A and B are shown apart, each in its own frame.
Chain A
C-alpha cells in the first residue's frame, strides 16, 4: 500500500513538470566541493545567436541531475576507475605507460579544457583521442585505440574528470581558425531528408520538445557522457553521428576530419562553461 501511495504522489508531482521543457535554475556542485559553471555569458563569437550558454545538465530531470552531483552515484565514474588502471599499465614495444611520461593523473588537470587543439607537428587540429593515439603509436609503440570505443572513451572520461570545474577554453584563432570555420559551416548546413542543421534544433529551438525529448543547446562540455539509455559512455563524435542519422542523412565517421572540425566549433560554443565529463544524461 505504501509503495502504491508513493507512486501515486510521484505521478502527481511529475504531471505539471512534463509540460515544461525549458532549462531549470538548479546549481551543480560535485561531491559537495567542485562548484560548476553551468550557465554563463555566451562567448564573443556567439553573441549574435544567443546571450547565455548553458550545460545540457539544466535540461534533465532532478533525478538525473542528482546522479551527477556525487561520484559514487555517477555510473560514468566506474569507467573512469577502469582508465586509472590503464593509465599505469605499460603497453607496446617501448614498455611505457601513460604515467611514465605524464606522472600523476591529477597533473593532467586542465588538459581536457583546451582540446580540440592545434598541433604544430601534425599540422592540424587534434582531438584529445587523436592526441592519445599519437602518444600510443609514436611514444609507446602500442596500437592505436579505435575512435570512441571502450578504452579510448574511458581514458578521455578519466582525463576529463580531473579537469572538472575548469572553464572550457579552446582556441579558435591562429592556425586553428580554418578548421573552426569549417566546423561552423557544418553546424549551419542542413542535412538529410528532414533538412535539419545542428542550429535548427540546438540554436533556434532549445528549451522546446522534439517529440518526447527536451532539446538542449547541444553543448558538449559534459562529454564523454554516460547515457542512461545505453548504460555506457558516449563520445562526442558518436553523438554527432546519432544526430545526423536522425536527420535521415548519411553520416560522417567518428574520427573523420568533418567531425574533428565540428567538435572544435561546438566545443567553442561552450567556452566558459565548466568541463563536466563524465556527465550523466538520459
Chain B
C-alpha cells in the first residue's frame, strides 16, 4: 500500500567492547493517521508503521509500539551497548502487513 518506503540506518562500523554507541534510524513513510479526510470528505484510511524493533545478535534492544500521532518519516535515535561483535537487525512493521528490515554489522575495534 504505502509507496516510497525506504529504511535508513546509521551505525558506527566498529566499537570498543562494552562501549555505548549511538544509533540513528529513519524510515520514509507517510504515516497517514486515519483522522484526515480527502477533498470529497471521505476518511483517508490509516496507514502507519505500528512497530519498530532493534535486535542485537537475536537479543531485543528496543521494541517500540507506534501510534497514529507520530509524524511522517519516523526517526529514532538511541544508544546501545555493544558487548561483542555482531549484527544489529532493525525491523519496521507496516499496517498493511509489510515488514521492512535492515541489518548492520559492528566489529570490535
Q: Do A and B come from one complex?
A: yes
Closest 4 CB pairs of A and B: A72-B10, A78-B28, A231-B72, A72-B24
Q: Which residues of A contact B4 (CB under 8 A)?
A: 82
Closest CB in chain B relative to A6 CB, distance in Å: 15
Q: Are A81 and B6 interface neighbours, CB within 8 A?
A: yes
Q: Cβ of A138 < 8 Å from any Cβ of B?
A: no
Q: Which residues from 38 to 94 on chain A have a C-beta closer than 8 Å to any C-beta of chain B? A: 72-73, 75, 78, 81-82
* Cα A234 to Cα B63 with chains together (Å): 34
Q: Which residues from 226 to 262 on chain A have a C-beta closer than 8 Å to any C-beta of chain B? A: 231
* Cα A249 to Cα B8 with chains together (Å): 42
Contact of B26 among A72, A82, A231 (CB under 8 A): A72
Which A residue's beta carbon lies closest to that of B31? A231
Q: C-beta contact mask, B75-86 vs A, less than 8 Å → 1, else 0? A: 100000000000
Q: Which residues of A contact B91 (CB under 8 A)?
A: none
Q: Are A78 and B26 interface neighbours, CB within 8 A?
A: yes
Closest CB in chain B relative to A26 CB, distance in Å: 21
Q: Which residues from 258 to 279 on chain A have a C-beta closer than 8 Å to any C-beta of chain B? A: none
Q: Which residues from 1 to 51 on chain B have a C-beta closer than 8 Å to any C-beta of chain A? A: 4, 6, 8, 10, 24, 26, 28
Q: Are A231 and B71 interface neighbours, CB within 8 A?
A: yes
Q: Which chain B residues have a beta carbon within 8 Å of chain A's beta carbons? A: 4, 6, 8, 10, 24, 26, 28, 71-73, 75
Q: Which chain A residues have a beta carbon within 8 Å of chain B's beta carbons? A: 72-73, 75, 78, 81-82, 231
Q: Which residues of A contact B71 (CB under 8 A)?
A: 231
Give chain A's interface secondary structure class.
loop
Q: Are A78 and B24 interface neighbours, CB within 8 A?
A: no
* Cα A73 to Cα B26 with chains together (Å): 9
Closest CB in chain A relative to B23 CB, distance in Å: 11
Q: Are A78 and B73 interface neighbours, CB within 8 A?
A: yes
Closest CB in chain A relative to B19 CB, distance in Å: 20
Which B residue's beta carbon lies closest to that of A232? B72
Contact of B24 among A73, A81, A82, A231 (CB under 8 A): A73
Which A residue's beta carbon lies closest to that of B25? A72
* Cα A44 to Cα B4 with chains together (Å): 45
* Cα A254 to Cα B60 with chains together (Å): 49
Q: Which residues of B contact A78 (CB under 8 A)?
A: 6, 8, 26, 28, 73
Q: Are B73 and A231 interface neighbours, CB within 8 A?
A: yes
Closest CB in chain B relative to A94 CB, distance in Å: 26
Q: Which residues of B contact A82 (CB under 8 A)?
A: 4
Question: A78-B26, A78-B28 known; A72 and B8 CB under 8 Å?
Answer: yes
Closest CB in chain B relative to A226 CB, distance in Å: 10
Which B residue's beta carbon lies closest to that of A230? B72
Q: Which residues of A contact B28 (CB under 8 A)?
A: 78
* Cα A82 to Cα B5 with chains together (Å): 10
Which A residue's beta carbon lies closest to that of B9? A72
Pairs A–B under 8 Å by Cβ, sample size 10: A72-B8, A72-B24, A72-B26, A73-B24, A75-B75, A78-B6, A78-B8, A78-B28, A82-B4, A231-B71
Closest CB in chain B relative to A229 CB, distance in Å: 11
Q: Which residues of B contact A73 (CB under 8 A)?
A: 24
Closest CB in chain A relative to B90 CB, distance in Å: 14
